[in-house]
Amino acid sequence: MFYDQGCFGRVDLGPLPEDVAERLSQVPGEWLEYDPPLGAIVVRHVQPTSAHHLPAIACELVRLFAEIPPELHEGIPGGALFVQTEEEHGQLIRLRVEAGGAIHVRWAHPSFRQATRRPYGGGSEFLIDPEVQRLNGTVQFRADAPREAAEALQELADTFEGLYPEGDCVSRAIDQDTVEIKMEDVNLDAVRLVELLRKLARVGTLSGRFEVSAFGTINPEHQRRVLFENGEVLVQHPLLWPEART
């Protein structure tokens, strides 16, 4: 999905009487409007940039629903609007309309706890530009020349030409054949790191994980977790909306 415009999505309202559809078409709004051919609340093509996104969009959604008589709510299929807030570290919020018209507001809480593990595909999974990637995590492996391997990893981190030189990366040999790299808010290309780790490590010895996020604003669904387990390199996409258990 694409959230950079501030809002994305639609809410299907289903068949409505002509007079109700006409009233909805006349409701003023900056972000949302009723589209009669679609029978849905949609995001306008031209969106404002000055007003705070979430309060304005939520208000307009409720204002539109206020024009629909309660006896028609049962026939509403529903849908969702996704709002990316405008502050520096923007948040993603879902305005979800359930079948029947109930409206729920939820903030995205990216979690890898129950996320599916997929085989690493060579880096196509990463949607964040390498120049702003932020890496956090720890990886260990066995190497034939652990000191040289640790130095190669440290050189990769120290010489990477990213936009955010802050952060802490320590790569070291921790015994006669084991290497460990620890990263805290390190600006580094995840693809180049995985390639070098696989090149340096003895087959099947990589273990650990690191997470890939970004410096500055990020769409939460673009975060990734890279895992090294049982000789495999795996990637997880975060779950944004873990539903509450009942």
Provide DSSP, 113-124.
Answer: TTPPEEE--SST
User: Residue 197 in 3-state DSSP?
Assistant: helix
- pLDDT average, residue stretch 155-171: 92
Tokens of 63: 């204002």
Mean pLDDT of the chain: 90
For the cut 50, the answer to whether the pLDDT of residue 1 exceeds it is no
For the cut 70, the answer to whether the pLDDT of residue 74 exceeds it is yes
The pTM for the full model equals 0.73
DSSP H or E run through 104: strand 103-107
* pLDDT value of position 108: 85
- pLDDT average, residue stretch 46-68: 85
For the cut 70, the answer to whether the pLDDT of residue 199 exceeds it is yes
- pLDDT average, residue stretch 27-36: 93
- What percentage of the chain has pLDDT greater than the value 70? 91
For the cut 60, the answer to whether the pLDDT of residue 38 exceeds it is yes
Which tops the pLDDT comparison, 96 or 87?
A: 96
* pLDDT value of position 153: 97
* pLDDT value of position 95: 94
For the cut 60, the answer to whether the pLDDT of residue 97 exceeds it is yes
| CATH 3.40.1110 for domain 117-236 | no
Q: What angle do CA 16, 25, 42 make, to 5 degrees?
A: 85
What angle in degrees, to the nearest 10, is found between the helix axes of 190-200 and 146-159?
Answer: 170
* pLDDT value of position 89: 56
* pLDDT value of position 91: 78
User: Residue 50 in 3-state DSSP?
Assistant: coil
Confidence of residue 31 (pLDDT cuts 50, 70, 90): very high
pLDDT digits (tens, 9 = 90+) for 211-245: 999 987 677 888 999 999 988 999 999 988 866 43
| Nearest alpha carbon to residue 220 among 111, 124, 136, 113 | 111
Range(s) within the chain of domains with CATH label 3.30.70: 117-236
* pLDDT value of position 25: 95
The backbone region for 71, taken as left when phi is positive above 0, alpha when psi lies in -120 to 50, beta otherwise, is: alpha
Helices (H) and strands (E) in the chain, counts: 4, 13
Q: Is-contact 233 153, C-beta < 8 A?
A: no
For the cut 60, the answer to whether the pLDDT of residue 2 exceeds it is no
pLDDT digits (tens, 9 = 90+) for 116-148: 999 999 999 999 999 999 999 999 999 999 999
- pLDDT average, residue stretch 84-93: 71
- pLDDT average, residue stretch 40-63: 84
Q: Is 42 exposed, middle or buried (0-12, 13-18, 19+ CB in 10 A)?
A: middle
Distance CA 55, CA 58 (A): 5
In sign, the C-alpha dihedral spanning 169, 173, 177, 178 is negative
